[in-house]
Amino acid sequence: MTGRVGSFAASVVALALLLALPQFLRQYYLGLATRMLIFALFAMSLDLLLGYAGLASLGHAAYFGVAAYTIALLILRAHLGSGIAFPAALVAATAIGALFAPLALRARGSYFLMITFALAQVVWSVAFGWRSLTNGDDGMPGVPRPNFGWSLDSTQSFYYFVLAIVGLAALLLLAIVKSPFGRALRGIRESESRMQALGYNVWRYQFVAFVLAAAFAGLAGALYAYFNRFVGPEYLFVIQSAEALIMVILGGAGTLIGPAIGAAVIVFLEDFVSSMTQHWVMVLGIIYVLVTLFARHGLIGLIVDYRQRRSEP
Amino acid sequence: MIWVIHTLNGIAFGMLLFLLAAGLSLIFGLLKILNLTHGSFYLLGGYIGLTVMRLTDSFVLALLAAAITIALLGAVIERFFLRRFHLDELPQTLLTFGFLFIFADLSLWIWGGDPLMLAQPRIFAGSLPLGDYVYPYYRLFLIAVGLVVAGALWWFQEHTRLGTMLRAGVDDAEIARALGVNVSLLFTLIFAVGAALAALGGVLAGPVLSVYPGADFEALILAFVVVIVGGLGSLRGALAGSLLVGILDDFGKAFFPEFALFTVFVPMAIILVARPTGLFGRG
Amino acid sequence: MTTKETVPFGVTLAPSADQRAARRRALRAIAAAGAAVLMLGALDPSARADDAIKIGILLPLSGNFAENGQQTLTGLKMYFDEVGNAAAGHKLDLIVEDTQGKPDVAVTKARKLVERDEAQVLTGVVSSGEALAVNEYSRDNKVPLVFSGDAGADELTMPGPLLNPYVVRVTQNGRTVSAAAADWAYKKGWRKVTLIASDYAGGVDVMHGFAQSFCRLGGKVTQENWPPIATADFGPYLTNLDRTADAVVTFNPGADGLRLGRQYSEFGLKGKLPVLDIYGTVVYESNLAQLGDAVLGMYSSLFYTPMLKTPENERFVTEYRKRMGSMPSNEGPNGYVGAHALVDAIKAVNGDLNDKMKFIAALKAVKFPSPKGDISLDKYGMVIQTMYIREAEKVDGQIGNVPIATYPNVDQFWPFSEAEFESYKYTYKDLKGSLTDCGKVLAKK
């Protein structure tokens, strides 16, 4: 019981802190915090697939990027407003998820990684190669932020916009993983055959998890297009997919808060290290190796391990 | 005659792809590792070959040095890193991704960012006249090397004790172990051989494609396309996939230039939908 | 005994017990992290008391464009060092950020330089994707931006939706280097040419610049070949190449140019079909020794060659080689000229960059001799400079791009007047695939 009270108190403190952030942070760091929130959502969406459904995808950037491109194309090419473009982006990401899921779900383990990787690469090649539509690797600058009655052009107002959306999405994800559906997913993760024997349609659960993960990734991608006012093919590239994986692992798969923390840490490190040294790529590589070797349970796991070790004489 | 040249081009490019894809496929077949560092093995192989070639002016030494160095590097990565996570695909993939980053930056550090081209072995300079056209000898040499490597790998797989062990290991590592196969050693050996093949690909491609930052990702993606088209873990598949992708790429660029970038990815997408195990994959 | 060994990595990472406690602790960790962020925000790295002028440099120092970034940076630093990193009594603080060659990272870094480090002017920028994105940032936030990296898209300094009053460009644009090439090609007697150019906006821009000038003189493009960027094998294009043409015009930046150079002679085309290499992408300085005799006799056009025998250039080349150990290509001189323009303009406004329009006006008024030749700027902030036609020759045992023709004072609309240039109906974006049709290329509005 005290655990629940403490948890609630910590949540309130965290929320208050997030709400107060614009009062303390300089503009640039507020932008960085916005980026952290967006990638926290991206990582949490992948965690639905990886941590709960037990499916490791190396192509999660596809849905992120498809949503971002949908926004840019509809606004800049078709001259539609965000009122249409924003929901359309979510629909597009969800649709691509629903299209890819049956192809990917035929495989497991390394095959699943490879097929998701290949499918994302196909989307990347379209964004990269169809220059007349997408500008290829020049990308599409000048994506205007939505204006739902109030302007989101300032760093502060956009931060609150992102905070609200990511907060709502996180609550929704929490509700999903707490629901019977979420419990069934965890059951499938532990043993597909047992759940099958219990009469669960395993494929259908995995399909829904896959599509939901794609939809939330799309939400993150749409926010990112507005945040940067730019979309480019690197949003779809394997590096982006791998980054989401490392965020989830670093934070701790199978919890929602873990990947969010992992995302914040990675976004901060990238920003910090790339200003310190031009060899940040190597540093990033070393982080991948170290996280895999030593933070196998994620930061969340480290805390639990530490607690357990302390409580055991 | 123009068709002959396009076909030869496609085969030559396909043979380079084969060297890349064979190693990737071999490693996947036995160890079930999605080895993203494969691109680095290609890149580092090319750079090491280039350095040795510049120092000794010997293409053979360049090939040997690259293959041996990268085989050792591969063995180290398998023994001391990937081994810890046997059959646990996610940490393995992330490790290989980390190494891909590390080696990319390391080679930029050592060799700089300018594209570098290996000199050709002198005996293969010049070109073969074919009617109104000519065809470079070096590319004919590439085709020959590809065929020799494919033949050697096939012979190794079918007619040697190690090959038998390999086939047993691919089918079921536990049973192979029970039958007395030193699976642990076999894994390291095969990983090293796969890495060395990629390094050979890097050196052999050097005089045609050059070596430059980013070649690791390009090679990696092409190799994946080939194994997806051909089927994972299958030598026949790697060969068929390489030739198919190589030839489609050449004819696509020549006759459907506006779709140049898609000549590689569209066939892969079709295969993924129609035949997810690839042309020669195990079902 | 911990659970470490029994909890497998990956899909079942989540510690099944103590989840709630873990979350509580995690939330505390967030609070701590948040506090750390607050402290970082409060730290003010740029609030030093001195009155240094802060110059933000945006260049790709990692990734595929790293070499371009590194060379531009060398050029910039060479000039800043020459003036002792000071101008008009102010110290010049150079803050370098790595754009990784990605437009979105470039914008993030621009933000960082301006909003955190309080840079008063930005410079550098290599790829056109980065240029378009940073241009947008500069305009929205009214930050002076001096392009001293490649950044060649025409429309950045031409009247139109992208024109930005805060931008100055000392490098080049896509079309003029090729306009000079077209003029020279026609004078050489060539009337029909085929072309091989990388398939991206820059490639089309360059080839349109060539076709427009070549058509107006009476020449014709007979065939267009557009290999994608990072084409591994030029075999298919070389085999298909129109051999009845007088010459082939090329533009293939990066590793593509190196491959094309090698494969061109392998496929027996050297000596049969002369090459006119716009921007010198095949005969790029670091390619010359690698390609050896294969490049001898290749023509190219560019606004620079290290073989120029002017005091400015000879001094520049000596110092550059000392720093880099290699011959400069176009990037080093561009960076050097960018720094020179900045320093001259800072002097002209006495170190006061607060009046941005006054500073921009001072930038547009600079005029000086440089390693590239004489430099001045037009009213849009675009450089007016000399174009050189070069031929790859052996000089003292080394292959170099020797200047064989000179086009001084080439402005961004050359050889057209601005009015004539604006009277054409189609821009380069409409004309890929139609460059063989001189009627369409020269159609008036």
> Does B86 contact C at CB distance below 8 Å?
no
Q: Which residue has the higher pLDDT, A225 or C37?
A: A225
- CA of B163 vs chain C CAs: smallest distance (Å): 32
Q: Which of A115, A119, A245 sits opposite B94 (nearest CB)?
A: A245
Among C9, C18, C37, C156, which would you mutate to test the A interface (most chain A Cβ atoms within 10 Å of its Cβ)?
Answer: C37
For residue C226, what is the nearest residue in chain B, using CA coordinates?
A: B257
Which of helix, strand or coil describes residue C278? strand
| Coarse DSSP helix, strand, coil percentages of chain B, rounded to the nearest 5 percent | 80, 5, 20
Mean pLDDT of B54-67: 95
Q: How far, in whole angstroms, is CA C424 from its chain's centroid?
A: 26
Q: Say if residue A77's pLDDT is above 80.
A: yes
Any idea of the CA torsion for C153, C156, C158, C161, to the nearest 10 degrees?
120
Interface partners of A (3+ CB pairs, < 8 Å)?
B, C
Structure tokens at A124: 């990347």
Longest CA span, chain B:
62
Q: What is the pLDDT of residue C50?
A: 61
Instruction: Tally Cβ neighbours within 10 Å of residue C29.
Output: 17
A chain contacts of residue C108, beta-carbon cutoff 8 Å: 31, 35, 228, 271
Mean pLDDT of B237-248: 92
Q: What is the pLDDT of residue C31?
A: 57
Structure confidence by residue, pLDDT tens digits, A54-66: 999 999 999 999 9
Structure confidence by residue, pLDDT tens digits, B141-152: 999 999 999 999
B chain contacts of residue C258, beta-carbon cutoff 8 Å: 115, 117, 210
Structure confidence by residue, pLDDT tens digits, C75-89: 999 999 999 999 999
Structure tokens at C392: 């790859």
Among B13, B93, B210, which would you mutate to test the C interface (most chain C Cβ atoms within 10 Å of its Cβ)?
Answer: B210
- CA of A292 vs chain B CAs: smallest distance (Å): 6
Q: What is the pLDDT of residue B271?
A: 87
Mean pLDDT of all residues belonging to chain A? 90
Q: Which residue's structure tokens are 């990696």?
A: B220
Question: How many Cβ pairs within 8 Å bridge chains A and C?
Answer: 198
- Residues pairing with C369 in the sheet: C374
- CA of B246 vs chain C CAs: smallest distance (Å): 10
Cis amide linkage into residue C415, ω under 30° from 0:
yes
Q: Say if residue B4's pLDDT is above 80.
A: yes
- CA angle, residues B6, B7, B9, in degrees to nearest 5: 65
Q: Which of B210, B213, B257 sits opposite C66 (nearest CB)?
A: B213
Structure tokens at A89: 């982006």
Structure confidence by residue, pLDDT tens digits, B253-282: 777 776 767 778 888 888 888 888 888 876
For residue C284, what is the nearest residue in chain B, using CA coordinates?
A: B114
Q: What is the pLDDT of residue A286?
A: 94
Share of chain A above pLDDT 70, in %: 95
- CA angle, residues C428, C433, C438, in degrees to nearest 5: 70
- CA of A91 vs chain C CAs: smallest distance (Å): 24
Mean pLDDT of B47-76: 96
Q: What is the pLDDT of residue C9?
A: 33
> Does B33 contact A at CB distance below 8 Å?
yes
For residue A259, what is the nearest residue in chain C, using CA coordinates?
A: C26
> Does B115 contact C at CB distance below 8 Å?
yes
Q: Which residue has the higher pLDDT, A264 or C199?
A: A264
Q: What ipTM was predicted for this assembly? A: 0.89
A chain contacts of residue B260, beta-carbon cutoff 8 Å: 129
Q: Which residue has the higher pLDDT, C411 or B251?
A: C411
- Low-confidence winner among A172-176, A243-247, B130-134 (lowest mean pLDDT): B130-134
Mean pLDDT of B38-63: 96
In whole angstroms, give the CA distance from residue C230 to residue C259.
10
C chain contacts of residue B254, beta-carbon cutoff 8 Å: 236-237, 239-240
Q: Which of C10, C254, C287 sits opposite B91 (nearest CB)?
A: C10
- Residues pairing with A140 in the sheet: A231
> Does C409 contact B at CB distance below 8 Å?
no
Q: Which of C22, C30, C61 sits opposite A14 (nearest CB)?
A: C30
Among B43, B209, B220, B263, which would you mutate to test the C interface (most chain C Cβ atoms within 10 Å of its Cβ)?
Answer: B209
For residue C95, what is the nearest residue in chain A, using CA coordinates?
A: A275
Q: Which of C62, C133, C200 sits opposite A136 (nearest CB)?
A: C200
Could you write out the DSSP letters of every residue in A159-199?
HHHHHHHHHHHHHHHHHHHHSHHHHHHHHHHH-HHHHHHTT
Which residues does chain C have with pLDDT short of 70?
A: 1-50
Q: What is the pLDDT of residue B21?
A: 93
- Low-confidence winner among A158-167, A241-250, A289-298, C415-424 (lowest mean pLDDT): A289-298
B chain contacts of residue C226, beta-carbon cutoff 8 Å: 257-258, 260
Q: Say if residue B175's pLDDT is above 80.
A: no
> Does A110 contact C at CB distance below 8 Å?
no
Q: Give the number of C-alpha atoms closer than 13 A to the C-alpha of residue A246, restricted to the C-beta side.
A: 30
Q: Which residue has the higher pLDDT, B86 or B156?
A: B156
Q: Which residue's structure tokens are 């049973």?
A: B175
Structure tokens at A56: 């490791």
Q: What is the pLDDT of residue C63?
A: 79
B chain contacts of residue A262, beta-carbon cutoff 8 Å: none
Q: What is the pLDDT of residue C42?
A: 47
> Does C9 contact B at CB distance below 8 Å?
yes
B chain contacts of residue A242, beta-carbon cutoff 8 Å: 94, 97
E strand or H helix that includes residue C108: helix C103-111
Candidates A230, A237, A239; CA nearest to A134 is: A230
Instruction: Tally Cβ neighbours within 10 Å of residue A168.
Output: 11
In whole angstroms, give the CA distance from residue B264 to residue B225.
7
Confidence of residue A26 (pLDDT cuts 50, 70, 90): confident
B chain contacts of residue C286, beta-carbon cutoff 8 Å: 114-115
Question: How many Cβ pairs within 8 Å bridge chains B and C?
Answer: 119
Q: What is the 3-state secondary structure (H, E, C) of C334-380?
A: HHHHHHHHHHHHHHHCCCCCCCHHHHHHHHHCCEEEECCEEEEECCC
B chain contacts of residue C8, beta-carbon cutoff 8 Å: 88
Contact criterion met (CB < 8 Å) for B94 and A114: no
Instruction: List phi, psi (to 5°) of B133.
Output: -110, 170
Instruction: List phi, psi (to 5°) of C299.
Output: -95, 150
Structure confidence by residue, pLDDT tens digits, A118-134: 999 999 989 988 888 99
Q: What is the pLDDT of residue B165?
A: 82
Structure confidence by residue, pLDDT tens digits, C260-306: 998 898 888 888 899 999 999 999 999 999 999 999 999 999 999 99
Q: What is the pLDDT of residue A4?
A: 66
Q: Which residue has the higher pLDDT, A145 or A302?
A: A145
Mean pLDDT of A136-149: 88
Q: What is the pLDDT of residue C36?
A: 56
| Contact call for residues B17 and B220 (beta carbons, < 8 A) | no
In whole angstroms, give the CA distance from residue C434 to residue C293.
35
**Cβ neighbours of residue C391 closer than 8 Å, sequence gap 6 or more:** C297, C298, C299, C300, C401, C402, C404
Q: Which residue's structure tokens are 């007088």?
A: C246
Structure tokens at C353: 């960059």
Confidence of residue A193 (pLDDT cuts 50, 70, 90): confident
Q: Which of A33, A139, A312 sits opposite C133 (nearest CB)?
A: A139
A chain contacts of residue B90, beta-carbon cutoff 8 Å: 50, 56, 113, 245, 249
Q: How far, in whole angstroms, is CA B194 from its chain's centroid?
A: 8
Q: Say if residue B119's pLDDT is above 50.
A: yes
Q: Say if residue B202's pLDDT is above 90.
A: yes
Mean pLDDT of A28-42: 95
Q: Say if residue A312's pLDDT is above 80.
A: no
